[in-house]
Each structure stands twice: as C-alpha cells, then as structure tokens.
Chains A and B, each alone.
Chain A
Amino acid sequence: MLRGIRKFFSFIWRNKVKSLVVVVLIAAIAGVGGYQGSMKLFHDYPQLCELCHIIKPYYTSWSRSDFLDYRHTLKGRTVKESTVEGFTDKDVVCKDCHYAPPQRLFEELWNYATGNYHNPLEERRFATAECFACHKDYNHLITLTANLEKKYPNLPQPGWNPHSSHFGEINCRVCHRVHRPSVDFCSTCHGQTMTGPGWTQEVEWKQQP
C-alpha cells in the first residue's frame, strides 16, 4: 500500500500539467450538471470518453466496423446501408454498456497512476442480463433469427436457428463479442454456420489446454 501511495504521487508529480487539466476537467464537468448531467454529456458526445480512457481500438471499431459495437448504432439498418455522419445515429454509446458508479473513477485513476493495468485491456466478460435489458429474452431472440438462410448460406439446414439450440438458454457471450469478431460456437461440431464479416470460427474452448 505504501509503495502504491509513493507510486501514485510520483506519477502525479511527473505529470503535473496533465493531472491539473484532468482535475479541472472533471471538476468542470461535474460542476455543470453533477453526475447525472455529466453522464448526459458523455451520451451526447461519446468522443469525450476517448480523451482520457485507453480505448482507441474500441472507439474506432465502434465508429465503423463489422463488429457488434458498430452494429449497435445502426438502428436496424445493415452495415452497408449506413452512412456515418457524426454521432446522430449512434444510439448505443460507451456509457450504455460501460456504466460505472462515481467512485470507480477514483479507482481507475489510482490504477492508472500506479501502473496497475494491462494494455491492451483485458476483455470484459459481460453478463447476459446486460443484453436482456434491451433485447428482452430468449423467446424474442428466437423470433428474430427464425429465417437466417438468406444471410448465412452455410447453415447446416433450412430453419437453423442458433438461438433455439440443444444447449437451451446459454449466455450471450458464448457467441457474441462486442469489440471483436463474434464466435461461431456451433462450428465446434456442425462445421461453419455463421460466416462472413464479424464472425470467426476460432472457438476458444477448443484452444484451452
């Protein structure tokens, strides 16, 4: 702990100007509208997040990619149909998934200053409940993926519905990833099923020791 404190203050001293700017910025944002207000600010201007957080690759893929982060901004349109013009059509922004209580800010500052983190960031394992906050439940998903034949030509048979599988209601994260390609878990046994951009057949559980 002592060593951590020493590390922390030495970091602050070495980055006097930056630290001052950050403190002033935080104070200013919080001063304008309190915590709720600043959350609104980060909703309207998600590019502000990248100013301080080490999230460039994720911010880039959220801005345009084949991954779920970008697809969450399309409001039902396909990637091809979408033209990115500013942030007006971005309906899911960083803070919608990466919500944090205020005290987390200080924990993160501490971890950053004391070097207690990895870069690139460790993949966050999101919980299924987070998805169902918007996507209702499994029955709803089953109806959404009832006719995948046209989009995915490699399906083993017509009517193949990955949300209605013999495994039942498994965690979303088994297949879906947000800032990287999603995983074709069915391909473990059934050959390629979900193909095309945004999918990979590199199933992790096949690569475990």
Chain B
Amino acid sequence: MNSTPKKQVKTGSPSAAPNEPRISRRDFLKGAAVVAGASALVACAPAVAPTGAPATEVPQEWDKEVDVVVLGTGTASLAAIVAADAGSKALLLEKGPVFGGHTAISGGGLWVPNNFVMKKKDIKDSREDALTYIRKVSEGRTPDELLVKFIDTCNEMIDYTVKNVGIDTYDSGTQFSDYYPDSWPGHSSNPRFITPKGSGAGLIKYMKDAIDARASKIEVLLETRGLRLLYDGDSNAGTGQVIGVVAQAATSGKEMLIKARKGVVIGTGGFDHDKEMSNHFLRAPIYYTCSAPTNTGDGHRMCMAVGAMMRNMNECWGLVAYNVKDDLTGVPDWSLERGKPGTIIVNKHGERIGNEAAAYEIFGRAFSAYDTGAAEWRNIPSYTIFDSGYTQHYPLPGSGYKVGVVPDFFKQADTLEALAGQLGINVDALMATVTRFNENARNGLDPDWHRGENSFESNTSGDHERTDVKNPNLAPVETGPFYGTAIWPGTLGTNGGPRTTVNGEVLNVWGKAIPRLYVTGNTMASVFGGQYPGGGATLGPGFTFSYIEGKHVATLKPWDAA
C-alpha cells in the first residue's frame, strides 16, 4: 500500500457504483435554483475517487477536522458538551431535520437510583440496594464492572447537568416506580427516576441551549448522517484505531471526510426502524415503535464493520400498541389503560396472556410465546376487552383522553359472546376465562397472573379513588356494552449493540477495546441486559455513559499529534 504515492480512501456510500461520476460541487447551481442554502456546501467531499484501495488508509485531505465527532443528538449530546468543557472541539451530527433524536420525543425520565430528589423527599435508597436490584434485572448478561460504573457515576452525571448544563427543574412523580416485583431484592416502590420540566423535549432544550452557549467549541450539523468509520489499521487483527467518520448530507447525498483527532462517540439510537435488522435480530416480530424514525441502526452497522462485540441484539424495550400501521405507528398503551379495573387481554384462543397491568417492557415479553402445535406466534395479536365499567370511568386508548369517545378501530357489542365473534376469539374459551377471572376479580384477586399485587401497578395505573373495587387494578369484566381491539407487540427502542469497557469504549469480538470508538444510549448494549428496571432506564444509562465517554475521550492525545 505504501507504494501508492497519493493515499486515497473509499468514500462511496453502499449505493454508489464505483464508476458513477462523482457529483460536482457546483451541481446545486443548475439553472435558477441558486443562492443561499450555503449550508449544503459544507457537504462537498474533496476529489477522492473510489479506487478499490482498502478503507484503512489515512486520507490526505479532510473536509472537517475536530477533536471529537459525536453522532446523534439524543443522549450523546451530553458527550459533546462534556468533551467541549474539557477543552476539546466537537462536531455533532444529526441525521434528522430536528435536534434531539428519540430523547426529544421521550418522557425525559432518567433512572438514577439514590438521587438528590429522593434524598430531598426523604425516600430511602442506597447504592447497594440499587446494585443488588440491577444485578438481578440484568440476568447475568452484563459484566459487574459496568453495573458498578453506572451506579457510581449516574449521580455525578446528574450533578454535572445541574451545574454545567443548567438543568434546575429535576423532579419526580409517583408513577412508574421500579417495574419488577416488590419481592425482588433492592427493589424500590418509589420512583428512582427524575425528569426535568417539559419531559424529553424540555431535557433536549436544556442540552440544545447548553450547546448553543458553547458555539465556539461545538458545531452542529442537522440532516447529516454518519455513513462509515474511518479506521487506520487492521480491525480483524485488532490493531489500529478509529480516525474519523465519513458523513453524508441526508438531502443531497454529498459525502464528507471528518477527522476525529481524539475519537468518535456514536449515539444513533436503536434499529427499530430498520425492518431487515429488527426482523433478523429481535426475538419476535414488532408491529409498532415510538422511537424516532431516524433510528435505523446506522451506528450498529458502523461498529459491526470494525468488528464490534454485539450483545443483547435479540432484545428490545417492549411497548404494546393498538391500531398499528405498516409504518410502525399506532396507539401505544404504557399500561395506563390496560392496567385499570375493567379490562382483560386474551389471545384468539380465549386465554389470558399475562398480567394486564404489568409494565410495558415486561408485558411485551408475553408476545414472544410460540405455539408449537399451530406453528405461529400464539399471542400475536391479542385482544384487549374493556367493559362499560371501564369506559364510564376512564378514556379508551386513542380517544384523545376523552371519556365516552370510542375510536373507530374498536369493535363494540352488547355481549361478550358477540364481541368475541367480531374479534375472532374462541367464544367458549373466552367465556370460561372471563368467568374465572371475574370470580377472582370480585375478591380483588388474580391467582393466575398476580395483577395489582406490585407497587408499580398500584401507583401507575391503579385507581385508589374507587371504593367499589377491592384491588385498584382489578374489576370484573361484566357490564355491556363491551369494547375490544387487537393489541400488538412493539418497541420503545431496541437495546442491543456493542459491548463497551467501563469508559464506554467499544470492544471488538475478541474482547479488546477499539481505540477512540465509543457508543452510548440505545446504540450500546444496555447495561441492564434485556430488561428495564424502572422508568427512565434508557436515558439514565444513556446520559451517564455519554458523560463518562465525553470525559474520557477528551483526555486522549490526538492521533495526529507529532
């Protein structure tokens, strides 16, 4: 390779044919469509043609040179802020047209045990309890050192966002406390998450304002996606390092070579919206996701291309939904509707599939049951039935939170038999199931699935104002008319990705850190394994590892330093 006088590097996107003429930098001028839009200019790549040379060489010309390249503006935005505060120059790339990724449309909660809001409210918690709890939650999937690092850094991260990002409105509510049973060691029946004013949108506004205030140190490019990592060395042999990124302007397709003197932090979200990846990696099909449409596994592919150790790829944060469409949109049920008194969820065989009031992530797991006789997913779809005892008290999903409004995707009948016929549920089996369910529900009991026995259910969807029910989550389903609709499995995010060191550096398949490459948020293999300990379980570790990585990458010596 050294015999090649002028080192060149492949910049071609996967779709670009080798002999396709490169788009000239004057292309955008044609005809009268001129002027402004000058931001498009930054996307011009230098004249480097695909020559078949390996992609491991150092380009001679760069379009941009910075210390740290951060891909994604969700949780990863904190990495840019922390790195900039530590004296590095950062470039933040966002594929979407708006800032904030999935975080911007989230609830904005961060699962941070033993946090200062809990202390202020005199809620007892400890480092040891939290560690004990997540050791059980993560089912042995996560190296203990990562769990310890998370627990020991999360409050330091919160402290940083209060002092340096200016988040002064952290608070907690009463709903969405830890999702797993109260009997689990270290479990907290009070929420361990805190959220700033304005939920995810508010959280991102704080981040955006902090970045704007650091305009001389952090540049932001919207509608620009990371395409490939530039790697100098032999990733198969585990030698070499990441030296930059090939990015692409999403609108024009123009590519640019960005030098990352210190490192690259990838926080491009999950792969929910990449049908190929979700079909092949996830344990069961998904029909819905609330994740940002930009979450198409870009960061996962970039890391796989340099040999990253992928973990938890079969897992997702489950979120069930009604009225699902081909584009994975629908009406999610965060357990606030299905968990209230007067509902039952059955499959087409008339069997209950689980505890209707369980947290979304846990309830989603019920849909991966496989029918080994009929050779099909036994619980996909299932059907949620609401009786009139429900509808006179609470709004139906998709009604715009209006009691009495019945969305058009619901079937409606005066008797359960008739509704079962309309929905295609085995009538006799359903009647037997409901008879048993109602007998127990009248006594406030659910011996089959333990609905309403845990604090999560009680404080999230439970109705404590009703005196006519013995269990705040449970009432017989017996008053017509009845309303029913199909319920489908989906995600609020995938949680598999590269495994990292405690500093957030990506490990390769042999277990060795890939120098200068970091992942965070839903791009990294979650420290919680496949399970969701409680509200804020994506953003908590996401922001914590972004903080750790921003600090770590800033300490590195630039690779091009003399």
Contacts and interface: CB of A to CB of B under 8 A. Distances in A.
Interface of A: 49, 53-55, 58, 94, 97-100, 104, 107-108, 111-112, 116-119, 121-127, 130, 156-157, 166-168, 170-171, 173-174, 185, 188-189, 203-206, 208-209
A100 B35 contact: yes
Among A127, A185, A189, A209, chain B packs the most CB atoms within 10 A around the CB of: A209
Given A104-B35, A111-B29, A166-B199, 7 more contacts: A53-B31, A119-B31, A124-B35, A125-B252, A173-B97, A205-B95, A208-B296
B33 A122 contact: yes
A166 B24 CA distance: 38
A121 B33 contact: yes
Interface of B: 24, 26-40, 95-100, 104-105, 198-199, 201, 205, 208, 222, 225, 250-252, 273, 290, 293-294, 296, 327, 329, 400
A104 B296 CA distance: 39
A94 B29 CA distance: 15
Contact of A168 (B29, B201, B225, B251): B201
A58 B34 CA distance: 13
Contact of A54 (B31, B96, B98): B31
Nearest to B15: A209
A136 B447 CA distance: 64
Pairs of residues from A and B, 8 with the lowest C-beta to C-beta distance, nearest first: A117-B30, A166-B201, A53-B32, A54-B31, A206-B293, A174-B97, A121-B33, A125-B37
Nearest to A173: B97
A124 B201 contact: no
A18 B257 CA distance: 42
Contact of B32 (A94, A168, A174): A94
B337 to A, nearest CB: 18
Given A55-B32, A206-B293, A208-B95, A127 B38 contact: yes
Contact of A124 (B28, B97, B98, B225): B28
A13 B477 CA distance: 86
Contacts of B198: 166
Chain B binding site: helix, strand, loop or mixed by DSSP? loop
A205 B250 CA distance: 9
A167 B104 contact: yes
B110 to A, nearest CB: 18
Nearest to B253: A122
Contacts of B273: 206
B34 A167 contact: no
Contacts of A124: 28, 33-37
B97 A205 contact: yes
B42 to A, nearest CB: 12
A80 to B, nearest CB: 29
A127 B222 contact: no
Contacts of A97: 35
A156 B251 contact: no
A100 B34 contact: yes
A116 B28 CA distance: 9
B35 A116 contact: no
Nearest to A121: B33
Contacts of A112: 30-31
Given A55-B31, A189-B329, A208-B296, A167 B26 contact: no
Contacts of B327: 206
Contacts of B95: 205, 208
A49 B33 CA distance: 12
Contacts of B252: 122, 125
Contacts of A107: 26, 29
A167 B98 contact: yes
Nearest to A108: B29
